[in-house]
Amino acid sequence: ETGVTQSPTHLIKTRGQQVTLRCSSQSGHNTVSWYQQALGQGPQFIFQYYREEENGRGNFPPRFSGLQFPNYSSELNVNALELDDSALYLCATSLFGVSNYGYTFGSGTRLTVV
Amino acid sequence: RKEVEQDPGPFNVPEGATVAFNCTYSNSASQSFFWYRQDCRKEPKLLMSVYSSGNEDGRFTAQLNRASQYISLLIRDSKLSDSATYLCVVNYGQNFVFGPGTRLSVLP
């Protein structure tokens, strides 16, 4: 059972709307990374947060933004939703500077944009 | 060249078969390597880390060739429950980059 919790599990939004996805970090993990996984593809890195600041970003437009809170939980916000934003959004937590243990993933939020 | 590339698959093998997956990465500075398993509509789960000397965990063997920037995963005596997508993961600095995955179907 994962120590990372994501909410909601499923979501349907209309094109042009805004969405906020949430992630609570596994105990002791201070870094949160967000990934987008389209059907049939590998997860694509969106960005990472450490010490409440963005610490690296993938090839995603500015309408994808995030926050990290003092308790290490995090939010992913997407504005002006497009149909192609339909995907599984995964939150992954880790301990900064310790890359040899990999990530712990949440169960994901499945977003459908119609 | 893409950051992480994998065999396109899918691999359809009978129970008991041995199957190998390959992965190449472009960043020679990468230090951490993993194989993740992802079941349909579920999150990826860590299968095993990959160490320079190669490592084995039961039926699973992972190997790393730094000179060729190549990682492999070998599964012996395949079980029906091994059916999943296998994702190769490589660190780029503090971030992890995933390959597109290779789907395995083990057939009865």
Work out the minimum CA distance from B107 to partner chain A, whole angstroms.
20
Percentage of chain B modeled with pLDDT above 70: 99
pLDDT per position as a tens digit, B54-104: 899 999 999 999 999 999 999 999 999 999 999 999 988 778 899 999 999
pLDDT mean over B44-53? 91
What's the pLDDT at B94?
Answer: 74
Q: Exposed e or buried b for every residue in B56-84, given b needs 16+ CB within 10 A?
A: eeeebbbbbeeeebebbbebeebeeebbb
Q: What is the pLDDT of residue A99?
A: 62
SS3 A84: helix
Show which of residues 39-78 on chain A sit within 8 Å of chain B, judged by CB atoms: 41-45, 48, 50, 55-56, 58
Q: Quick check: B4 pLDDT over 90?
A: yes
A103 to chain B nearest CA, in Å?
A: 8
**What residue of A is the nearest CA neighbor of B103?**
A40
What averages of pLDDT result for each successive group of 10 residues across chain A (114 residues)? 85 98 87 94 94 92 96 96 97 78 88 97
Please calculate the CA angle A40-A49-B48 and round it to the nearest 5 degrees: 50
User: How far, CA to CA in Å, does B73 sit from each of A38, A42, B95?
Assistant: 24, 17, 22
